[in-house]
Chain A
């Protein structure tokens, strides 16, 4: 797969992530319940102890993460690839932790959070792949 294709895939995933995280940030500050097809799951997760990290809404941290990845995917150069990969790997790790908490501590599933975790997993794969690509096949 070419670098251009990987970058396009990453951009699509990051834009979707910005959409989901942006929506969750909006419902957090508007103090409304997110649209949720799984009975009360989103409300329960969004109002749980794990919805904030050091007083900052996790949704806002996710939004910042997606925007950083988006910017790093657009920017050229090795440093941008590293920033994208690091941010995506951190996002992936924390998404896995939050999914574990949803399943075993909060006992509820928020479809938006699961969607975000899937996107972050995809981004971690794409960004890591871009970083490891054969140097002679890379396109700046």
Chain B
């Protein structure tokens, strides 16, 4: 038996049915909106992936392109004008840049592939060259160590091969300006020809000289000297009175200011 007081009236049943239908429609509309939003998100994710991939391709391409101009066009390398502006007009002999009778000697130990050596060469060395080498207060020697890998050996030999033509410093500076990824095999003959030609050297002669016993001896001397002064990383700078004992620059990374202090101290010690 049903209780008449709890039995819904016809009107109540209609209203309940309408409310139920509205709820269903509302839920369906919400589900539809959610589906649309998810589809929108998927579309945005797809678009974002495409944009990021294109950016990565451009970024990676741009970075790997930098060392290749030398390889492709022999001499068309980046930074030729900057190198000439930095080194041009300064006397050089073998691995030494500056006047032979300069009272102070700055010795740099570097690896051609070492990125920190590139940083030093591009950011700190120019001030040292300008303030101390051009003015005749100091001369610089660059001694190559080749511990990073086979590309270091190939590069160091070719660069040292430019020394008899008095183009060692231009070639080294230009090499750092076009330095590639460590041990990626970028130090090819074509690449080196581009660097050497850009430095103003006869590339064929320099490459031939690089494989001579004289260059092998110079690289051996660098190792011996490095061992004597306890050089275990690059770049390492030693400074001292010409012909005298050298003192190591103990900065975590060499700076023009730090080297300047050592040069001033060495000059004072040398009585100049």
Q: Which of B231-272 contact A (CB under 8 A)?
A: 252-253
A89 adjacent to B44 (CB under 8 Å): yes
Secondary structure dominating the interface of B:
helix
Count how many pairs of residues, one from A and one from B, have CB atoms less than 8 Å apart in the complex.
Answer: 71
CA A132 – CA B40 in complex, angstroms?
A: 9
A93 adjacent to B47 (CB under 8 Å): no
Interface locus among A5-13, A18-26, A38-46:
A38-46
| Residue A50, interface by CB 8 Å | yes
| Residue B63, interface by CB 8 Å | yes
A86 adjacent to B58 (CB under 8 Å): no
B252 adjacent to A39 (CB under 8 Å): yes
CA A50 – CA B119 in complex, angstroms?
A: 15
CA A85 – CA B56 in complex, angstroms?
A: 20
A128 adjacent to B41 (CB under 8 Å): yes
User: Which residues of A sit under 8 angstroms from B122, Cβ to Cβ?
Assistant: 47
Partner of B119, one of A44, A105, A135: A44
A40-B253, A49-B66, A97-B59 known; A89 vs B115 contact (CB < 8 Å) = no
A90 adjacent to B119 (CB under 8 Å): no
Interface string of A82-107 (1 = CB under 8 A from B): 10011001101110010001000101
Interface locus among B30-38, B144-152, B206-214:
B30-38
Partner of A85, one of B33, B44, B49, B252: B44
| Residue B4, interface by CB 8 Å | no
A102 nearest CB across to chain B (Å): 13
CA A82 – CA B34 in complex, angstroms?
A: 14
CA A94 – CA B38 in complex, angstroms?
A: 23
B48 adjacent to A89 (CB under 8 Å): yes
CA A105 – CA B59 in complex, angstroms?
A: 13
Chain B, Cβ-Cβ closest to A135: B33
> In which size bucket is the chain A interface?
20 to 34
Partner of B56, one of A97, A107, A131, A134: A97
User: Which residues of B sit under 8 angstroms from A54, Cβ to Cβ?
Assistant: 58, 62
A90 adjacent to B52 (CB under 8 Å): yes
CA A101 – CA B181 in complex, angstroms?
A: 12
| Residue B55, interface by CB 8 Å | yes
CA A61 – CA B162 in complex, angstroms?
A: 42
A113 nearest CB across to chain B (Å): 14
Interface string of A101-140 (1 = CB under 8 A from B): 1000101000000000000000000001001101110000
| Residue A36, interface by CB 8 Å | no
- B-to-A contact residues, CB < 8 Å: 30, 33-34, 37-38, 40-41, 44-45, 47-49, 51-52, 55-56, 58-59, 62-63, 66, 115-116, 119, 122-123, 181, 252-253
Known: A39-B252, A131-B44. 11 other contacts (CB 8 A): A40-B252, A44-B119, A50-B59, A90-B48, A90-B51, A90-B52, A97-B56, A105-B181, A131-B40, A135-B34, A136-B30
Cross-chain pairs A/B with CB under 8 angstroms, 24 sampled:
A39-B252, A43-B119, A44-B119, A48-B63, A49-B62, A49-B63, A50-B59, A54-B58, A85-B41, A85-B44, A86-B44, A86-B48, A93-B52, A94-B52, A94-B55, A94-B56, A97-B55, A105-B181, A131-B40, A132-B34, A132-B41, A134-B30, A135-B34, A136-B30
